[in-house]
């Protein structure tokens, strides 16, 4: 899979630029004529239409007005804001602390009915114990933040786990076997976390799969991601947080999840791997 931060954002910019080109052509205008009507240099029209420059809301209003398509401006501006919000650097996302980040995610969890999550480096948040979550968020705070609101952020994360027990929601979790054998917080935290996985993995609405370590895998590990119903994917990267809403992009992650699920073991075999990881801790 290509770098999701670049491929998804660039495709969304390309789609917006293509729509602007269609509007101009439907109006029977050349790029130069549109630039004259908008009062800017012809090169600006070219840069926007070739997705080299992201237009501002004012640019979109001017483009639609010159093309006699004022009614299409609101939809284009909404698309622009979606593109602008697809990739958010951690520094910008966490500027008001970790508690706000956790609170902002709650509405998305409440409106989702089918969750699919794959993790190649940590236990997924909905399955974490309090001690494990505190260790994860404490490491984030020390690495990236001055503000220390970890205790409050942990409270919000734990409260969010109620969605596991509410309504008719369904959950499918996949983790790499390596996640069972390394993690934050030390042996006691990891041992408690593994025991919790055995408990929560037995819930009737939860499917827990473990992708075994193997020298001949068909599908290699990828970046961790969450699929919310079939309308949104979120990916945590080293540099920031990626939100994907393009159907073609979502389909790639759905396909990747399916391929990884085929390689994973479930039920008793998954519990065996979790138990073996616990025994290895002593």
Query: Tens of pLDDT along 154-173?
Result: 999 999 999 999 999 999 99
- Choosing from 44, 68, 84, the residue where a domain stops is 84
Looking at the structure, do residues 78 and 116 belong to the same domain, yes or no? no
Looking at the structure, do residues 162 and 131 belong to the same domain, yes or no? yes
- Which two structure tokens, joined as six digits, stand for 57? 């809301």
- pLDDT at position 2 is 47
pTM for the full model? Answer: 0.74
Looking at the structure, do residues 153 and 60 belong to the same domain, yes or no? no
- Secondary structure (DSSP) of 117-181: EEESSS--GGG--HHHHHHHHHHHHHHH-SS--HHHHHHHHHHHGGGGGSTT-EEEEEEEHHHHH
Looking at the structure, do residues 99 and 223 belong to the same domain, yes or no? yes
- For the domain that residue 181 is a member of, what is the CATH number? 3.30.870.10
- pLDDT at position 244 is 83
Quickly state the pLDDT bin for 195 (edges 50, 70, 90).
very high
Distance between CA 165 and CA 153 in Å, rounded?
Answer: 21
Looking at the structure, do residues 172 and 272 belong to the same domain, yes or no? yes
In which domain, by residue range, is 215 found?
88-280
Please state the domain count of the chain: 2
Looking at the structure, do residues 174 and 65 belong to the same domain, yes or no? no
- For the domain that residue 14 is a member of, what is the CATH number? 1.10.260.40
Looking at the structure, do residues 217 and 117 belong to the same domain, yes or no? yes
């Amino acid at each position: 899979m290509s770098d999701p931060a670049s491929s998804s954002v660039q495709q969304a910019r390309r789609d917006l630029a293509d729509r602007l080109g269609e509007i101009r052509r439907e109006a029977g205008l050349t790029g130069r004529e549109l630039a004259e009507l908008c009062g800017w240099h012809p090169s600006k029209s070219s840069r926007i239409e070739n997705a080299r420059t992201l237009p501002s809301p004012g640019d979109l209003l001017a483009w639609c007005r010159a093309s006699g398509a004022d009614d299409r401006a609101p939809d284009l501006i909404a698309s622009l804001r979606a593109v602008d919000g697809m990739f958010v650097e951690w520094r910008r996302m966490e500027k008001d602390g970790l508690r706000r980040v956790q609170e902002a995610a709650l509405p998305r969890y409440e409106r989702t009915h089918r969750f699919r999550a794959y993790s190649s480096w940590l236990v997924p948040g909905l399955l974490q114990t309090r001690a494990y979550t505190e260790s994860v968020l404490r490491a984030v705070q020390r690495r990236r933040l001055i503000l220390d609101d970890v205790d409050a952020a942990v409270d919000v994360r734990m409260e969010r786990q109620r969605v596991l027990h509410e309504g008719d929601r369904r959950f499918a979790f996949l983790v790499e076997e390596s996640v069972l054998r390394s993690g934050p917080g030390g042996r006691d935290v990891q041992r408690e976390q593994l025991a919790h996985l055995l408990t929560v993995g037995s819930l009737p609405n939860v499917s827990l799969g473990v992708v075994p370590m193997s020298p001949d895998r068909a599908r290699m590990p990828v970046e961790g991601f969450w699929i919310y119903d079939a309308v949104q994917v979120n990916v945590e990267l080293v540099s920031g947080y990626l939100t994907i809403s393009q159907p073609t992009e979502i389909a790639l992650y759905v396909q990747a999840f399916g391929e990884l699920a085929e390689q994973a073991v479930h039920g008793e075999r998954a519990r065996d791997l979790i138990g073996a990881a616990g025994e290895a801790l002593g």
